[in-house]
Amino acid sequence: MTEPAYDLLIRGGRVATASDVFDADVAISGETIAAIGRALPGGRREIDARGKLVLPGGVDSHAHIEQLSAAGIMNADTFESATVSAAFGGTTTVIPFAAQHVGMKLPQVLEDYHALARRGAVETLETDLPALIKQGHASIKIFMTYDRLKIEDEPLLDILLAARDGGALLCAHAENHGIISWMVKRLLARGYTDPKYHAISHARVSEAEAFNRLIGMAALIDQPIMIFHVSTAEGAKVIRDARGQGLKVFAETCPQYLFLTADDLDKPGVEGAKWMCSPPPRRVSDQEALWLALALGDLQTISSDHAPYRFDETGKLRAGANPNFKQVANGLPGLEVRLPLLFDAMVSKGRLGIEKFVELTATAPARIYNLHPRKGSIAVGADADIAIWDPQREVTLSDEMMHDLTGYTPFAGRKLRGWPVTVLSRGRVIVADGKRSVEAGSGRFLARTGGEAAKPTGRLVADMDPERNFGARLL
């Protein structure tokens, strides 16, 4: 009797990548994709994918998992609950953050965070500061706002230079702290305390101004940057203009800015706190501007910015049952619903199409964060991270169906068409028929270098001005 050629064969599905859609079998040997073709010889196990879409597992490049906030609030998820939630939503790789607060030592921060991450179920990748880049932590996240986290301009230049020297990518939460602080104080002083005023406190100009300032400093240093969670039309335009000048600026948005608006915060009592995140959701017109920016390539990825806080005294209501908006923990859960929301909009409803869906949610983040070609695509030699989607399955999102520990989803009640029914990570079936089939602790840390996105542009803004060029040479 002939030995089966492969360990696992996904038979008869419609495969989609960032550039092509075609009917094919996908064969897996060990942890990798061994062959793609029609009528491939059988495997030890086969999955019937007829009538289904075979897509790469999602790569969520911005998530907060088992992380302590600057205010001392631990978010709701463990690595196990968060990564299981991700898997049920078709995501197989997540990039969380090891948060260094004032007084913490970098090596200890990373050691402690690695210990937490080992309990996770799917792949994880942490980011920290330049001293640990050689260990595979090749991204640095900074905040230009938040009272206890913000980086002032001069130390930000130092960090940009350290990132350039180490070959790391600098990622930023960019909003003007002074504008936000000024708005918050005046709103609270006048008794405007409800959650809906959080959206007003983050004035639109605070985003575009911070983008311009960050881009200017990055150009001076000649350091590539990733701007997180773009929320406004003005912010998208700043990025479009910078990229049009040849500057190496990457940017993302999130489902909350594509599907929610500031009106979602306008609920009775403090209910609107469930929809509070920073930056806040904006207007319908901003949603349209962001979709256009995605279509044009101004924004390259869509992450969840998963930041889960329960709607109780351990999270959103830590300051009491009736907090003012300044006292509410900022953040929304989103790991599990990111891909289904986007699939419904982009594939089922035809907005941008399936190739763009794959690009924005898997291939582009894998490439930018130097996980490609192992992650983010269905290709021979790639890790067998695969999500098999039923494009006709209809699901109404509810709080009860979520697998994270937040206790709610801000997208409850939305009806979606298209759902991941079988999910594989490195050739292992981890979710099938609505059931988890993998043990905690089976995920792996993905060490990496800065990759293509972290390389200097070779073109300084200072080169445009002889007087400024002298200053640039001093670097």
pLDDT at 467 over 50: no
Cα–Cα distance, 4 to 45 (Å, whole number): 9
Q: What is the mean pLDDT of residues 257-272?
A: 98
**What pLDDT, on the 0 to 100 scale, is given for residue 398?**
98
Q: What percent of the chain has pLDDT over 70?
A: 83
Does the structure show a pLDDT above 90 at 429? yes
pLDDT of residue 266: 98
Q: Give me the long-range contacts of 465-471 (CB less than 8 A, separation at least 24).
A: 471/220
pLDDT band for 449, please (50, 70, 90 cuts): low
Task: Kindly report, residue by residue over 365-381, the tens digit of the pLDDT.
Answer: 999 999 999 999 999 99
Burial (CB < 10 A; 0-12, 13-18, 19+), residue 353, is middle
CA atoms within 13 A on the CB side of 315: 23
Alpha carbon 96 to chain centroid, angstroms: 9
Is residue 70 exposed (0-12), middle (13-18) or buried (19+ Cβ within 10 Å)? middle
Q: How confident is the model at residue 351 (pLDDT cuts 50, 70, 90)?
A: very high
Report pLDDT for 147.
86
> What is residue 366's predicted lDDT score, i.e. its pLDDT?
96
The model's pLDDT over 202-254, given as tens digits with 9 standing for 90+, comes to 999 999 999 999 999 999 999 999 999 999 999 999 999 999 999 999 999 99
25: helix, coil or strand? Answer: strand
Confidence at residue 119, expressed as pLDDT on a 0 to 100 scale: 56
Q: 4: pLDDT confidence band, cut at 50, 70 and 90?
A: confident
Angle between helices 284-296 and 233-244 (to 10 degrees): 20
- Rounded mean pLDDT of 391-417? 98
pLDDT band per the 50, 70, 90 thresholds, residue 96 = confident
Q: Specify the pLDDT at position 73.
A: 81
* pLDDT score for 471: 34
Chain segment 67-89, per-residue pLDDT in tens: 766 667 888 999 899 999 999 99
Angle between helices 204-221 and 153-166 (to 10 degrees): 50
Residue 129 has pLDDT above 80, yes or no: no
Report d(CA 214, CA 228) in Å as an integer. 12
In the prediction, which pLDDT does 475 show?
Answer: 47
pLDDT greater than 80 at residue 95 = yes
pLDDT at 394 over 60: yes
Output phi, psi for 247, to 5 deg: -80, 145
Whole-number pLDDT of residue 79:
87
The residues that bridge with 47 in the sheet, in sequence order, are 10
Domain boundaries, the chain: 57-379+439-454
Task: Characterise 451 by phi-psi region: left (phi > 0), alpha (psi -120 to 50), beta (else).
Answer: left
Measured CA to CA, the distance from residue 361 to residue 405 in angstroms comes to 23
Q: How confident is the model at residue 447 (pLDDT cuts 50, 70, 90)?
A: low
Read off the pLDDT band of 265 (50, 70, 90): very high
Query: What average pLDDT is seen over the chain?
Result: 88
**Torsion-angle region of residue 19: left (phi > 0), alpha (psi -120 to 50) or beta?**
alpha
Average pLDDT over residues 360-365: 98
Confidence of residue 460 (pLDDT cuts 50, 70, 90): very low
Domain 57-379+439-454 has CATH 3.30.230.10: no
Closest CA to 159 of 236, 220, 97, 239: 220
Say which range, 96-100, 120-124, 271-275, has the weakest mean pLDDT: 120-124
**SS3 at position 295:** helix
pLDDT at 122: 57
Q: How confident is the model at residue 455 (pLDDT cuts 50, 70, 90)?
A: low
Q: Is the pLDDT assigned to residue 110 strictly greater than 50?
A: no
| Contact of 148 with 99, CB cutoff 8 Å | no
Residue 437 has pLDDT above 90, yes or no: no
Pick from 12-21, 301-310, 340-349, 442-451: least confident: 442-451
Is 349 within 8 Å of 394 (Cβ atoms)?
A: no
pTM over 0.75: yes
Q: Is the pLDDT of residue 128 over 90?
A: no
pLDDT band at 441 (very low <50, low <70, confident <90, very high): low
User: Cα separation of 416 and 336, whole Å?
Assistant: 13
Q: What is the mean pLDDT of residues 448-475?
A: 46
Q: Which of 146, 217, 156, 222 is nearest to 184 (CA)?
A: 146
Residue 382 to residue 97: CA distance in whole angstroms = 25
**Residues 331-351: what's their mean pLDDT?**
98
Which of 26-35, 108-117, 303-312 has the least mean pLDDT? 108-117
Instruction: Decide if pLDDT at 418 tops 60.
Output: yes
Q: How far apart are CA 313 and CA 309, in angstroms?
A: 10
Backbone angles phi, psi at 239, to 5 degrees: -65, -45
The residues, ordered by sequence, that sit 6+ positions from 405 with a Cβ below 8 Å of its Cβ are 76, 77, 78, 81, 308, 310
